[in-house]
Structure 1
Amino acid sequence: MKSRLIASLALGALVVLGTSGCAMISTQATTIQYSPSDGVNIPDSGPLQVRNVLIVADDDGNDGNLIAAIVNTTSDSQTLRIEFGEGSAKTTESIRVPANSTVSLGTDETEPVLLEGIDTKPGAVLPMYFQSGDGEGILFDVPVLDGSLDYYGDLLP
């Protein structure tokens, strides 16, 4: 009788361990950071946080509108410097973000930033350099989209 009880307890322990053992050694999926939208989040490298960055361009890909949310959690006004292109075709844009605020490019309150001469067709990525404050800056691939989705149609250059 006791051996039957011990065997059933051991079997129960094996079933519990066998069904939950994977969770003990695998990465928890909710801890993996990702960009849940069409744009990308730029890793923080200065006082400004740059979120959901994307470019909306027409089919020829000559010019594009930069769409992003730029968050400043500091008590001072900050400037985000953006560069793209190489050599003599390198272009620099600056966006001023007031203290403790968010600038959302491409909304009713703030126009998108027109990037001329990106020479990148929709479906590709454009390498862009982002730098704010004393941060080192970071080079990141920004997706270029077209206006085929209704909510991007009004954002075409």
Structure 2
Amino acid sequence: MRTRIAASVALAAALALGVSGCTFISPQSTLKAYDPSDGVDATVANLDVRNALLLSNNGQEASFVVSFINNGDTPIDFTVQYTGTGGKVTSHFTVDGNAVKSFGDTEEKQLVLQGINTKAGALFPVFVTYGSHTGKQLLVPVLGTSWSQYKDLAPTKSPTPKPRPTNIPGLTESPMPTASSAPSN
């Protein structure tokens, strides 16, 4: 009788372990942190970098779509660095205390990275830092603009400046000739 009870308990324990064994030895996927969008995130002290991604039409220039969040009360002067075909490029920005500075949104100014020489589907290294804090290198995904949700975020060319007339001292402008009727004799 004791053997039957012991065998029943062992069978029940084996059945319970077999049915639910994966949850005992595997970590829960819901506890793993991940970036729930196309971009990547990072934190440098009080500066959060959120949803950073690059959108490119040609693999040479890309619109840097990103939000920088200052979690502190004082303004943060930060830098964004990358290495392009012409060498290292460093840009300086400021975000006010408890504020957000975004680039690339349809209503925000674009930050166009030149000379990236990277095709869509690749990861492009961008370094963010400020003050004496250790910066973070982000491997930013480069996406094409063929998807409809990204078409309006593609890098745009800066308008070509129009030449303006220059006043040169001593030079006077002569009036333009006007059409007149032929002189009569």
TM-score relative to the length of structure 1: 0.85
Q: How many residues align structurally?
A: 155
Aligned with 1:75 (options 73, 76, 88): 73
Partner residue in 2 for 1:103:
101
Flag the structure with more relative contact order, 1 or 2, with Cα contacts below 8 A and sequence separation at least 6: 1
Shift of 1:137: 0.8
Q: Which residue of 1 aligns with 2:134?
A: 136
Aligned to 2:32: 32
The alpha-carbon distance between structure 1 residues 112 and 22, as it changes in their structure 2 partners (threshold 3 A), is same
Structure 2 residue aligned with 1:120 = 118
1:87 deviates by 8.9
Unaligned ranges ≥5, structure 1? none
The amino acid of 2:17's aligned partner reads: L
The amino acid of 2:89's aligned partner reads: T
- 8 Å CA contact 1:45, 1:138 repeated in 2: yes
Q: Give me the identity figure in percent.
A: 35
Alignment of 1:11-90 (within 5 A): 11-42=11-42, 44-58=43-57, 60-85=58-83, 89-90=87-88
What's the C-alpha RMSD, in Å, of the aligned pairs? 2.1
1:38 and 1:47, CA in 2 relative to 1: closer, same or farther beyond 3 A? Answer: same
- Secondary structure in structure 2 of the residue aligned to 1:36: coil
CA contact (8 A) 2:105 2:153 kept: no
Q: Unmatched 5+ residue regions in structure 2?
A: 156-185
The whole-number CA distance in structure 2 between the counterparts of 1:10 and 1:125 is: 53
What is the Cα deviation at residue 3 of structure 1?
5.1
Any idea what SS the aligned residue of 1:56 has?
A: strand
Residue 128 of structure 1 deviates from its aligned partner by: 1.3
Rg (Cα) greater in structure = 2
Q: What CA distance in whole angstroms lies between the structure 2 residues aligned with 1:133 and 1:47? A: 11
* Structure-2 separation of matches of 1:115 and 1:84: 8
